[in-house]
Amino acid sequence: DAGVIQSPRHEVTEMGQEVTLRCKPISGHDYLFWYRQTMMRGLELLIYFNNNVPIDDSGMPEDRFSAKMPNASFSTLKIQPSEPRDSAVYFCASSLQGANEAFFGQGTRLTVV
């Protein structure tokens, strides 16, 4: 397996634009997590899914953020409209069980100007 795959690796967008981040988890992993990493706040869990169902979205900062998992091999994190304070590295991770070892993607570095 190639591991968790995220795209794009880098995204630069203008304030107000819609941004969509994509993630392909490791095949067979039932849990998928979206994290955001900034210098100020460290690593924050935004939302996680179990068997494609969102379980805990308490970390999603605002209604501008939404996440979907239409099938076991694909998830998206969407920001609409984007703002400069959304600039961060967004990581997707997957695991066999929620609290067990999580495998991380390389991250998407988002810059909103």
Partner 1 sequence: GEDVEQSLFLSVREGDSSVINCTYTDSSSTYLYWYKQEPGAGLQLLTYIFSNMDMKQDQRLTVLLNKKDKHLSLRIADTQTGDSAIYFCAGPSGGYNKLIFGAGTRLAVHP
8 A C-beta contact, residue 31 and residue 49: yes
d(CA 101, CA 103): 7
Q: Nearest distance from residue 81's CB to partner 1, in Å?
A: 27
**Which residue in the set 42, 53, 63, 70 belongs to the binding site for partner 1 (CB under 8 A)?**
42
Residue 104 burial by CB count (10 A; 0-12/13-18/19+): exposed, middle or buried? Answer: middle
Among 94, 105, 110, 112, binds partner 1 (CB under 8 A): 105
Residue range at the interface with partner 1 (CB under 8 A); choices 11-19, 40-48, 63-71, 78-86? 40-48
* Residue 54 or 81 having the CB closest to partner 1: 54
Binding flag, residue 31, partner 1 (CB under 8 A): yes
Nearest to 93, CA basis, from 42, 30, 20: 30
CA 4 to CA 105: how far, in whole Å? Answer: 5
Residues that bind partner 1 (CB under 8 A): 4, 31, 33, 35, 42-43, 45, 48, 50, 55-56, 91, 93, 97-107
